[in-house]
């Protein structure tokens, strides 16, 4: 079984969305982990945005990347430039992937505008994760 780590700055939004989608699309083909350079807690808007489409991430935790130093990952996916640039080095044979998704937690405006940005980023991450599973776990 493949092991996938999704990395972000605070492990609160983008990496949590990606972890939820990767678990959904990969099923029993992979073990999915997410972590951050820092831990900011799981963003309640990320939980709500995923719940809208029937994916429950309310049990996710915000983890520091150092907690996973002993795991031999097959894939590491960074979902923001800061994580890619700041990730502490740990020896791994993992294939590395990167996509800089916008941070919906930084959205400003009315509640409706902020929710719309969370949905927009959710859909971007959904497409990325679905394609990642098709291209890397379906073989």
Residues annotated as catalytic (active site), given as ranges: 8, 80, 87
Assign residue 64 a region (left: φ > 0; alpha: ψ between -120 and 50; beta: otherwise): beta
Angle made by CA atoms 83, 84, 88, in degrees to the nearest 5:
75
Angle made by CA atoms 19, 134, 55, in degrees to the nearest 5:
35
């Amino acid at each position: 079984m493949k092991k996938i780590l999704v990395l972000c700055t605070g492990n609160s939004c983008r990496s949590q969305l990606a972890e939820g989608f990767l678990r959904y699309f990969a099923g029993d083909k992979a073990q999915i982990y997410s972590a951050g350079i820092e831990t900011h807690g799981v963003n309640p808007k990320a939980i709500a945005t995923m719940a809208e489409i029937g994916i429950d991430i309310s049990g996710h935790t915000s983890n520091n990347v150092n907690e996973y130093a002993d795991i031999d990952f097959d894939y590491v996916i960074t979902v923001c430039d800061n994580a890619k640039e700041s990730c502490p080095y740990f020896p791994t044979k993992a294939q590395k992937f990167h996509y800089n998704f916008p941070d919906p937690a930084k959205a400003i405006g009315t509640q409706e505008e902020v929710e719309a940005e969370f949905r927009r980023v959710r859909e971007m991450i959904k497409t990325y994760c679905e394609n990642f599973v098709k291209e890397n776990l379906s073989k």
